[in-house]
Structure 1
Amino acid sequence: MTPAIDGPRLPALNGQAKALCVFLHGYGADGNDLIAIGAEWRKAMPDVAFVSPHAPERCIASPSGRQWFPLTFRDPDERRRGVISARPALDAFLDAELARHQLPADRLVLVGFSQGAMMALHVGLRRPVAPAAILGFSGMLVSPEALKDEAKSKPPILLVHGERDDVIPVDALFAAMDGLGAAEIPVEWHLSPGLGHGIDGEGLRQGGHFLTSALKPRRTSLRSSSQA
């Protein structure tokens, strides 16, 4: 049975949401860790609803926190197995939240930190309908070699990483860019000078701008039927 997940929410400031932003927290945290970012962004995105679900499992390393999947840091394949096993619960949650707000699947943005960024990339790129955007902080792309066969969509992506990250070293950012590029998936990136494993003000500013731009209604060009 797919475990049900839930977490704190912020409704759209303008009432009826026209898009949904889902935060995916890191290993050992929970949904309360990132929902405050929604409170900061919502003034610039008043038509967006925000939700930050708690991952489905208790974290062995931090019993008061949660995990999307267990980590021993000894098994090189555990991340691959982990994102695959955690995907059904997250997909079900995303579908339910979109239905709650009566939104189409392309009005979804995923924002992940660390392990949550791994989930955002893994799940977002395999959704039948592309999310409007994926924003990953201090994460990594799990099994980039599988993307050519498994990716179903190519949403715009922004990856943000701390230059001095000692949990997920900055090399993971460049590896992710290479993997996404090889699969012909567009990606932007920002390196935060002097930052460790975290999110700084500039990363939040750039992330908010990226999502605001991604959620703007696309203009359709009209061809005039009149002849000179």
Structure 2
Amino acid sequence: MSLTELDGPRIEPASGGPAKQLVILLHGYGADGNDLIGLGRSWAPLLPDAAFVSPNAPNACAMSPMGREWFPLSFRDAEEYSRGVAEAKPILNGFIDSELKRYSLAEGSLALVGFSQGTMMSLAVGLSREKPPKAILGYSGALAESEFAADIGEKGPNILLIHGDMDQVIPVEALTMAREHLTALGLSVESHIAKGVGHGIDQEGLMLGGGFLKNALTPQTAS
């Protein structure tokens, strides 16, 4: 697959005008772009000038033939995660570049949103780009890559991590580990642990995510 062949469901700005922000939604293992595009429908009233796109991951999922994967999973350990995101990063970076060009936008108008494996990709790619996105929102994920530029804390994006405390797929401790590592790099990291929530997104997490994106992407006017 070439770097520009990723695609998936899209939502154009609710305002009907040209896009002023771009939100890229990265689904989890065994799903596809349709799994997360509904987030864009929920957040469109908050971000009426934003375009949303939820690309299908590049590979057919070995464990779920109807779904897609950013990289294979067998052992679900740190080494596999790190190797997987490293192999998938060029494809996602190429897609991000093409989407910014499509909408004539710069990285300061971009947000990456991920779920599970998509969160691993959002953090690994977003924090290693020469010009990082404005915001990264990660649900139920983990930090799969830990080596970033020394100055990432100075130019890095706003980050919000949300995780259910009953998650049996990726333990909630993954949020704590990611937050501690990223904060040590000087990055601004907010977090929320959803009580009684498993490997998914509840209504509170949806609302917190939308508010976070609105604050990050929408210019604030002085009162």
2:104 aligned with 1:102: yes
Bigger shift: 162-171 or 146-155?
Answer: 146-155
- What secondary structure sits across from 1:77 in the alignment? helix
- Distance in 1 (alpha carbons) for counterparts of 2:148 and 2:128: 9
Percent of counterpart pairs with the same letter? 53
Aligned residues of 1:126 and 1:150 also touching (Cα < 8 A): no
- What secondary structure sits across from 1:103 in the alignment? coil
Runs (5+) with no aligned partner, structure 2: none
Q: Which structure 2 residues correspond to residues 124-163 of structure 1 after superposition, within 5 A?
A: 124-144=126-146, 146-147=147-148, 149=150, 151=152, 153-163=155-165
TM-score by length of 1: 0.91
Q: Closer, same or farther in 2 for the Cα pair 1:162/1:74, shift >3 Å?
A: closer
Q: Closer, same or farther in 2 for the Cα pair 1:76/1:110, shift >3 Å?
A: closer
- Distance in 2 (alpha carbons) for counterparts of 1:89 and 1:150: 24
Aligned residues of 1:134 and 1:155 also touching (Cα < 8 A): yes
Runs (5+) with no aligned partner, structure 1: 221-228
Aligned residues of 1:148 and 1:183 also touching (Cα < 8 A): no
2:70 aligned with 1:91: no
Query: Which residue identity is paired with 1:61?
Result: M
Question: How many angstroms does 1:132 deviate by?
Answer: 1.1
For residues 164-220 of structure 1, what are the alpha-carbon distances to aligned partners after superposition, in whole Å with 9 as ceiling and x for unaligned? 000000000000011101211110000100000000000000000000000122669
Q: Which structure 2 residues correspond to residues 42-57 of structure 1 after superposition, within 5 A?
A: 42-57=44-59
- Distance in 1 (alpha carbons) for counterparts of 2:193 and 2:200: 12
Bigger shift: 51-60 or 35-44?
Answer: 35-44
TM-score by length of 2: 0.93
- Distance in 1 (alpha carbons) for counterparts of 2:138 and 2:203: 15
Query: Which residue identity is paired with 1:162?
Result: G
- Distance in 1 (alpha carbons) for counterparts of 2:33 and 2:83: 22
When Rg is computed on C-alpha atoms for both structures, the one with the higher figure is 1
Question: Between Structure 1 and Structure 2, how many residues are aligned?
Answer: 219
For residues 92-132 of structure 1, what are the alpha-carbon distances to aligned partners after superposition, in whole Å with 9 as ceiling and x for unaligned? 11111111111112110000000000000000001111211
User: Equivalent of 2:67, from 65, 68, 89?
Assistant: 65
Aligned residues of 2:22 and 2:50 also touching (Cα < 8 A): yes
Bigger shift: 69-78 or 131-140?
Answer: 69-78
- Distance in 1 (alpha carbons) for counterparts of 2:12 and 2:201: 23
Q: Closer, same or farther in 2 for the Cα pair 1:74/1:40, shift >3 Å?
A: closer
- Distance in 1 (alpha carbons) for counterparts of 2:77 and 2:113: 26
